[in-house]
Amino acid sequence: MPNYICITCGVQYAESALPPEHCLICEDERQYLGWEGQKWTTLKELQTSHRNHLDVEGPELISMVTEPKFAIGQRALHVRTPAGNVLWDCLTVIDDRSVAAIQALGGVTAIAISHPHYYASVVEWSRALGDVPVYLHAADGEWVMRPHPAIVFWQGETHELVSGLTLIRLGGHFPGGAVLHWAGGARGQGALLTGDVVQVGHDRKTVSFMFSYPNYIPVNAATVRRIVDALEAWPFEQIYGAWFGQNIKENAKAAVRYSAHRYIAAVSEAD
């Protein structure tokens, strides 16, 4: 039986003889139903029309996107460290070329995903990369549409995957929304891989925090304060966001502080 994939969010579902009636992720307020109604595809179909493109982002950091764009269009990042490698966020399309490229870079110790919009076809990736564990925050467990023994639900506020790569739960966009802190990133000054839990703006100098990006629903001031406080103890010079090219290459921590200040002013009542 096929594992159907929603064409709007790109999330792969548990196997079923017929396509599911609903995509729970797209029917949630944070997403939207495709304008032509709910449509489904399969990995097999996608593999005839799409492929993944890899790019070097910097030392020990590779980005991967699907071409042509599919569903939300996020990128995945492969981070290499002496202690082990991690695939951060995930794509729906998986092809032999991209798997071989990741294996040639030393493979991965684990996969970790920022939030449910990017769960994609992570079970396929786990299998293809050697049955590696997939770290998802337990607070978002209800959004896993294809349960699998490789999925590890981590709990609490932080979790070190390997020495120097630590998941930090920030919430906001989703209760379990997480970022990955890479201690050795930015030549040892630290980097954050954020998905859209901390969204890099088009100016590539500031960030934002939203409950829903497509439907323009902000989070409140207290949530932004909590996110900034949770990041305060972690050094980082750079941020790599959800989209190809959306990176803050210097002074990223100051950028987060400034952006939070601006955001809180914008959502607070004027006196």
Q: Rule CB under 5 A: is residue 117 a binding residue for Zn ion? A: yes
Q: Which is nearer to Zn ion, 23 or 79 (CB)?
A: 23
Q: Rule CB under 5 A: is residue 71 a binding residue for Zn ion? A: no
Smallest distance, Zn ion to C-beta of residue 173, A = 6
Task: Provide the 3-class DSSP secondary structure of residue 54.
Answer: strand
Q: Rule CB under 5 A: is residue 145 a binding residue for Zn ion? A: no
Where in 192-211 is the site for Zn ion (CB under 5 A)? 196
Task: Provide the 3-class DSSP secondary structure of residue 56.
Answer: strand
Neighbours of 34 (CB within 10 A): 15
Smallest distance, Zn ion to C-beta of residue 24, A = 8
Q: Which is nearer to Zn ion, 11 or 129 (CB)?
A: 11
Q: Which is nearer to Zn ion, 39 or 127 (CB)?
A: 39
Binding flags for Zn ion, 8-27, as an x/- string (CB under 5 A): xx-------------x-xx-
Q: Which is nearer to Zn ion, 196 or 237 (CB)?
A: 196
Q: Which is nearer to Zn ion, 209 or 236 (CB)?
A: 209
Smallest distance, Zn ion to C-beta of residue 184, A = 27
Smallest distance, Zn ion to C-beta of residue 197, A = 8
SS3 labels along 194-231? EECCCEECCCCCCEECEEECCCCEECCHHHHHHHHHHH
Smallest distance, Zn ion to C-beta of residue 265, A = 24
How many residues interact with Zn ion (rule CB under 5 A)?
8
Kindly tell me the burial class for residue 241, based on how many C-beta atoms sit within 10 Å of its own C-beta (0-12, 13-18, 19 or more): buried
Neighbours of 145 (CB within 10 A): 21
Smallest distance, Zn ion to C-beta of residue 11, A = 5
Residue 5: phi and psi, rounded to 5, are -120, 130
Q: Which is nearer to Zn ion, 12 or 238 (CB)?
A: 12
Q: Which is nearer to Zn ion, 25 or 94 (CB)?
A: 25
Residues 95 and 47 sit within 8 Å (Cβ to Cβ): yes
Task: Provide the 3-class DSSP secondary structure of residue 256.
Answer: helix
57: closest CA among 83, 81, 86, 78? 78
Binding window for Zn ion (CB under 5 A); candidates: 62-70, 113-121, 133-141, 179-187: 113-121
Query: Which residues of the shown chain bind Zn ion in the complex (CB under 5 A)?
Result: 6, 8-9, 23, 25-26, 117, 196
